[in-house]
Amino acid sequence: MGCYWANFAATGNPNNGTSGCQATLNLPEWLPEAGVGNAVVLGNSSISTTTSLKEEQCDLFAKFP
């Protein structure tokens, strides 16, 4: 995660930063958010988006003003 943050801070893009850590660590490309999901899921070797992640648990908070 630190590699992605360092790349983003240096270049505005979490991929292919000046440090080269993404290639060294063999990290997957962090794809731009395309409005297809409302949560980013970070796996051990993948990054994806999903919809309605923990929706039932989060909706609990809407019941209490």
> By the 8 A CB rule, do 3 and 22 touch?
yes
Q: Which residue has the tokens 């970070």?
A: 42
> By the 8 A CB rule, do 28 and 47 touch?
yes
pLDDT digits (tens, 9 = 90+) for 47-59: 777 777 788 887 8
Is the pTM for the entire model greater than 0.85? Answer: no
> By the 8 A CB rule, do 49 and 35 touch?
no
The residue-averaged pLDDT of 15-34 equals 77
Alpha-carbon distance 37 to 25, whole Å?
Answer: 26
pLDDT digits (tens, 9 = 90+) for 37-46: 567 777 888 8
Residue 40 is encoded by which pair of tokens? 């980013």
Residue 11 is encoded by which pair of tokens? 């270049």
